[in-house]
């Protein structure tokens, strides 16, 4: 049974402005996401910008649908897919009326700006999937801040001389200027060269050697040094490395030797690296098939 149809609501003053403001806020959030991602990315701010973009779009569409879109005041049984002539006439009148939503050009333009900005912002993360000017993940894991002429410093930034590493003492070292690099921690220790069963992969300076501090099982720092034995223990899963056999694992779950760090004495008398680690530091699970 047909009933009377409610007229198209004109909406209270300011509704259109609120919708436009919501859509422009959505566009601003999308632009903010794109700018943040383009400048290097910061997870928290990217999330906030996306939340603002989607929230603005949702608020704008909700207000538009509740306050400006006409609602039907009739109920009828479905009699086919072709609307009745009276219904077609009512639809045409609603779409061509001066206050019809589709004739509010400002609202449609603001919606277009919001959707365009959000769509453009969504394209930025695709850059991470492109190979241009990007290093393969496995290759990136092999590169650390260590390199030729990088000085070895302590945790407080003090450069080391060879005499600063006494016998049977393990000294933590870092690349100068990059104390915060997670893949760079290493250690220097003075051993007895005549006891080497295998030569150190990074070479040695009268028994002074340097290796990565990160266990090759799960990346824990190997901090327990058994003086006189040349054994280094990982406190996390009890892997044991023999420094006299090029830091080869002799017990525990670790299956790879600690990467060596080639060192030399610079013209200033301080210890310097001759290059990067002899292998990828830390856990090696990423390289397994």
Residue 84 sits in the same domain as residue 157: no
Q: How much is the pLDDT for 2? A: 46
User: Do both 167 and 247 map to the same domain?
Assistant: yes
Q: In terms of domains, do 147 and 284 share one?
A: yes
Q: Mind listing the pLDDT tens digit of every residue in the chain (289 residues)?
A: 444 445 545 556 688 889 999 999 999 999 999 999 888 778 889 899 999 999 999 999 998 888 777 666 666 666 667 777 787 777 777 666 666 666 666 777 888 888 899 888 888 777 666 665 555 555 666 678 888 999 999 888 899 999 998 887 889 999 998 888 888 899 999 998 898 889 998 999 988 999 999 999 888 889 888 887 889 999 888 899 999 999 999 998 888 899 999 999 999 999 999 999 888 888 876 555 4
Q: Are residues 147 and 257 in the same domain?
A: yes
In a domain, 134, yes or no: no
Q: Would you state the pLDDT for residue 175? A: 93
Residue 124 and residue 53 in contact, taking contact as beta carbons nearer than 8 Å: no
CATH number at residue 192: 2.102.10.10
Q: What is the pLDDT of residue 68?
A: 78
* Burial of residue 172, with CB atoms counted within 10 A of its CB: 0-12 exposed, 13-18 middle, 19 or more buried: middle
Kindly state whether residues 170 and 92 are assigned to the same domain: no
Angle at 66 between CA 63 and CA 72, to 5 degrees: 155
Three-class SS of residue 243? coil
pLDDT at 118: 87
Q: Is residue 147 part of a domain?
A: yes
269 and 231 in one domain?
A: yes
Per the structure, the complete domain to which residue 281 belongs is given by: 140-289
Asked whether residue 9 is assigned to any structural domain, the reply reads no
Contact (Cβ atoms closer than 8 angstroms) between residue 161 and residue 271: yes
Out of 129, 162, 181, pick the residue that ends a domain: 129
Helix or strand or coil: residue 60? helix
Domain end position, chosen among 93, 110, 129: 129
């Amino acid at each position: 049974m047909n009933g009377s149809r409610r007229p198209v609501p004109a909406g209270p003053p300011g509704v259109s402005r609120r919708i436009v403001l919501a859509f422009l806020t959505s566009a601003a959030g999308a632009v903010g996401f794109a700018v943040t991602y383009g400048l290097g990315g910061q997870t928290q701010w990217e999330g906030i910008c996306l939340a603002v973009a989607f929230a603005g779009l949702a608020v704008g569409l909700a207000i538009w649908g509740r306050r400006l879109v006409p609602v039907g005041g009739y109920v009828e049984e479905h009699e086919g897919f072709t609307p009745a002539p009276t219904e077609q006439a009512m639809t045409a009148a609603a779409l061509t009326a001066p206050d019809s939503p589709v004739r509010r050009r400002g609202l449609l333009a603001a919606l277009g700006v919001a959707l365009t900005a959000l769509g453009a912002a969504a394209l930025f993360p695709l850059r991470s999937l492109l190979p241009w000017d990007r290093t393969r993940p496995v290759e990136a894991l092999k590169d650390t801040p260590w390199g030729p002429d990088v000085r070895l410093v302590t945790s407080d930034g003090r450069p080391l001389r060879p005499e600063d590493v006494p016998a049977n003492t393990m000294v933590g070292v870092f690349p100068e200027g990059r104390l915060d690099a997670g893949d760079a921690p290493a250690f220097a220790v003075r051993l007895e060269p005549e006891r080497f069963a295998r030569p150190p992969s990074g070479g040695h300076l009268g028994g002074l050697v340097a290796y990565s501090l990160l266990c090759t099982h799960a990346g824990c720092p190997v901090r327990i040094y058994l003086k006189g034995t040349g054994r280094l223990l990982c406190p996390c899963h009890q892997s044991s490395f023999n420094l006299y056999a090029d830091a080869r694992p002799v017990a525990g779950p670790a299956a790879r030797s600690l990467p060596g760090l080639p060192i030399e004495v610079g013209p200033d008398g301080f210890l310097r690296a001759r290059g990067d680690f002899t292998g990828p530091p830390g856990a090696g699970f990423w390289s397994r098939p």
